[in-house]
């Protein structure tokens, strides 16, 4: 089910990188223009004010597409308020907030461009420096929030973009074009410190394995690619809410009924939980449980941890789950199903095998 809906996620990532490339290009064009780097020989003098403005507008269009794709992504299930108000997202709140603020500041820069005749050149120019903040926030947002940050191609995009923007900014500050322009070594020093800080942050944070599990204190760490690669042992107990839906198959010719619960866990490193219950229909109307399985993992590897239920009592369940090359974990949860077959509940995951996860199994119980 999740695979069939992956296009929103692909659209979010593709438009995110396109927007980022365009924000970088707009910044680079602006810097080249201010350095009067225009060749009369290059037809049609590609880097000019108009081109700069077109790139800015295109960046706005792709940022809007990115925001919408993120909003409709069924994995994260954002409300519309979460995608417009910085900091309230249930998923990677800080890193998402940086993207939202970057988008608003970008809008402010564009609007001050339109208002230039009213506010005057000096104010327009001052406000235009916000562009650097927009680019910096977009870079930190992409690195910190993105699922692709650790791939070679993403590192290439962030690396080339940063080298271009930082290099041209330093050139602009140390060797500005124009007879009246003066060099600003203090600002160049600050730029170098920020660039170095950014590099250290990237190396110690988003580019290290496990970043998605630790970013935001575990909030929204049910990331996809990163956790698929990560597959580390659960180090400490945690509990997280989950939600999803249940579908029923059967009863078949033998009277066997299968209930499949597809659940998304909001917290902890493993975002996908699947519970399957099998039973035979009883003449009294109930179902006698004959088999069960619980799996915890990522969308790429939903069956990373697997095991049968040890207990099922009302909505309460427990199990010991095992994964290939991973230490066993005990999972204890509580779920409820509403009349539309929507499921929600809370799950506790602990490293190791505890009393709760063991037992004779629920077979013979009812549901
Ligand atoms: C200047 C504006 C923005 C730029 C340049 C930008 C760029 C990016 C980039 C490059 C990524 C990394 C994608 C990946 O690693 O696959 C990303 C991820 C993301 N962005 Fe933005 N973004 C911007 C604004 C926003 C806004 C306004 C929102 C909120 C609606 C947002 C939400 C997200 C989310 C949730 C992700 C994580 C997607 C994933 O799972 O990889 N971004 N963004």
How far does the centroid of ligand 1 lie from the alpha carbon of residue 259, in Å? 36
Query: Within a 13 Å sphere around the CA of 61, how many CA atoms are in the beta-carbon half?
Result: 7
Banded pLDDT at 360 (limits 50, 70, 90): low
Rounded to 5 degrees, what angle do the CA atoms 282, 283, 286 make?
A: 45
How far does the centroid of ligand 1 lie from the alpha carbon of residue 151, in Å? 16
10 Å Cβ neighbour count for 314? 9
Q: Are 325 and 349 in contact (CB under 8 A)?
A: no
Atom of ligand 1 nearest to the CA of 102: 1
Q: Are 267 and 218 in contact (CB under 8 A)?
A: yes
Q: State both tokens at 266.
A: 């909001």
Which residue bears the tokens 């399957």? 276
Rounded to whole angstroms, the Cα distance separating 293 from 241 reads 20
- DSSP character at residue 151: S
User: Using a 6 Å cutoff on CB, does residue 19 contact ligand 1?
Assistant: yes
User: Using a 6 Å cutoff on CB, does residue 138 contact ligand 1?
Assistant: yes
Banded pLDDT at 229 (limits 50, 70, 90): very low
Cis peptide leading into residue 132 (ω within 30°): no
Alpha carbon 45 to chain centroid distance? 39
Mutate which of 5, 16, 82, 212 for ligand 1 pocket (most atoms within 8 A of beta carbon): 16
How far does the centroid of ligand 1 lie from the alpha carbon of residue 71, in Å? 11
Please return the burial class of 346, using the count of CB atoms within 10 Å of its CB with bins 0-12, 13-18 and 19+.
middle
Q: Are 234 and 240 in contact (CB under 8 A)?
A: no
Across 12-26, 31-45, 226-240, least confident range: 226-240
Atom of ligand 1 nearest to the CA of 145: 37
Q: Are 287 and 366 in contact (CB under 8 A)?
A: yes
Across 44-48, 79-83, 115-119, 152-156, least confident range: 44-48
For residue 295, is pLDDT > 50? yes
Banded pLDDT at 227 (limits 50, 70, 90): very low
Atom of ligand 1 nearest to the CA of 19: 5
**pLDDT confidence of residue 367:** 53
Task: Write the pLDDT tens digit of every residue in 232-253.
Answer: 677 778 888 998 888 888 888 8
Rounded to whole angstroms, the Cα distance separating 69 from 253 reads 44
* Ligand 1 atom 38, closest CA: 146
The four Cα atoms 271, 276, 277, 281 give a dihedral, to 10 degrees, of 130
CA distances 16 to 64, 70, 154, 218, 305, Å, are 10, 9, 11, 23, 32
For residue 306, is pLDDT > 60? yes
Q: State both tokens at 45.
A: 């003098």
Q: Are 273 and 344 in contact (CB under 8 A)?
A: no
How far does the centroid of ligand 1 lie from the alpha carbon of residue 346, in Å? 28
Domains and CATH numbers, the chain: 3-208 (no CATH), 234-357 (2.40.128)
Rounded to whole angstroms, the Cα distance separating 275 from 230 reads 23
Q: State both tokens at 122.
A: 């000096």
Rounded to whole angstroms, the Cα distance separating 248 from 69 reads 31
Residue closest to 194 by CA, chosen among 142, 125, 135, 128: 135
**pLDDT confidence of residue 130:** 96
Which residue bears the tokens 């969308």? 299
User: Using a 6 Å cutoff on CB, does residue 145 contact ligand 1?
Assistant: yes
For the residues 130-159, what does the mean pLDDT come to? 94
Q: Are 347 and 321 in contact (CB under 8 A)?
A: no
CA distances 348 to 26, 37, 41, Å, are 47, 60, 67
Identify the three-state secondary structure at position 339: coil
Rounded to whole angstroms, the Cα distance separating 125 from 122 reads 5
10 Å Cβ neighbour count for 340? 6
For the residues 155-176, what does the mean pLDDT come to? 96
How far does the centroid of ligand 1 lie from the alpha carbon of residue 20, in Å? 9
SS (H, E, C) 48-76: CHHHHHHHHHHHHHHHHHHHHHHHHCCCC
How far does the centroid of ligand 1 lie from the alpha carbon of residue 101, in Å? 11
How far does the centroid of ligand 1 lie from the alpha carbon of residue 17, in Å? 8
How far does the centroid of ligand 1 lie from the alpha carbon of residue 298, in Å? 20
User: Using a 6 Å cutoff on CB, does residue 144 contact ligand 1?
Assistant: no
User: Using a 6 Å cutoff on CB, does residue 102 contact ligand 1?
Assistant: yes
Task: Write the pLDDT tens digit of every residue in 97-126.
Answer: 999 999 999 999 999 999 999 999 999 999
How far does the centroid of ligand 1 lie from the alpha carbon of residue 6, in Å? 16
Please return the burial class of 220, using the count of CB atoms within 10 Å of its CB with bins 0-12, 13-18 and 19+.
buried
Atom of ligand 1 nearest to the CA of 84: 30
Compute the radius of gyration of the chain from its Cα atoms: 26
Which residue bears the tokens 């990188």? 17
How far does the centroid of ligand 1 lie from the alpha carbon of residue 222, in Å? 16
Atom of ligand 1 nearest to the CA of 223: 40
**pLDDT confidence of residue 71:** 92
User: Using a 6 Å cutoff on CB, does residue 212 contact ligand 1?
Assistant: no
Atom of ligand 1 nearest to the CA of 70: 35
For residue 228, is pLDDT > 50? no
Task: Write the pLDDT tens digit of every residue in 321-350.
Answer: 988 777 889 999 999 888 888 899 999 999
pTM for the model: 0.65
Identify the three-state secondary structure at position 185: helix
């Amino acid at each position: 089910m999740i695979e069939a809906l992956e296009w929103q996620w692909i659209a979010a990532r593709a438009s995110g990188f396109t927007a980022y490339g365009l924000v970088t290009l707009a910044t680079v064009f602006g810097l080249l223009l201010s350095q009067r780097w225009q060749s009369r020989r290059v037809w049609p003098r590609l880097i000019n004010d108009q081109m700069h403005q077109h790139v800015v507008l295109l960046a706005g269009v792709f940022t809007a597409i990115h925001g919408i794709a993120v909003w409709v992504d069924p994995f994260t299930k954002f409300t519309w308020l979460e995608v417009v108000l910085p900091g309230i997202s249930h998923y990677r709140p800080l890193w998402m907030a940086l993207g939202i603020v970057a988008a608003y500041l970008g809008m402010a820069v564009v609007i001050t461009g339109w208002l230039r005749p009213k506010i005057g050149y000096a104010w327009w120019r001052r406000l235009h420096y916000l562009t650097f903040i927009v680019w910096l926030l977009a870079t930190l947002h992409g690195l910190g929030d993105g699922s692709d940050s650790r791939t070679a191609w993403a590192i290439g995009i962030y690396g080339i973009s940063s080298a271009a923007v930082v290099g041209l900014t330093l050139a602009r500050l140390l060797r500005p074009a124009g007879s009246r322009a003066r060099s600003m070594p203090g600002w160049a020093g600050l730029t170098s410190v920020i660039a170095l800080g950014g590099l250290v942050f990237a190396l110690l944070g988003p580019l290290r394995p496990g970043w998605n599990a630790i970013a935001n204190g575990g909030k929204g760490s049910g990331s996809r690619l990163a956790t698929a690669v990560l597959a580390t042992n659960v180090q400490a107990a945690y509990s997280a809410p989950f939600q999803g839906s249940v579908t029923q198959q059967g009863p078949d010719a033998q009277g066997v009924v299968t209930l499949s619960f597809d659940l998304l866990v909001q917290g902890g490193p493993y975002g996908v939980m699947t519970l399957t219950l099998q039973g035979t229909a009883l003449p009294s109307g109930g179902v006698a449980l004959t088999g069960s399985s619980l799996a915890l993992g990522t969308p790429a590897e939903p069956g990373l941890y697997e095991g049968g239920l040890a207990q099922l009592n009302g909505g309460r369940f427990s199990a010991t789950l095992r994964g290939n090359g991973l230490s066993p974990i005990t999972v204890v949860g509580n779920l409820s199903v509403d009349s539309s077959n929507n499921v929600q509940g809370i799950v506790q995951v602990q490293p190791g095998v505890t009393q709760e996860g063991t037992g004779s199994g629920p077979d013979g119980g009812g549901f």
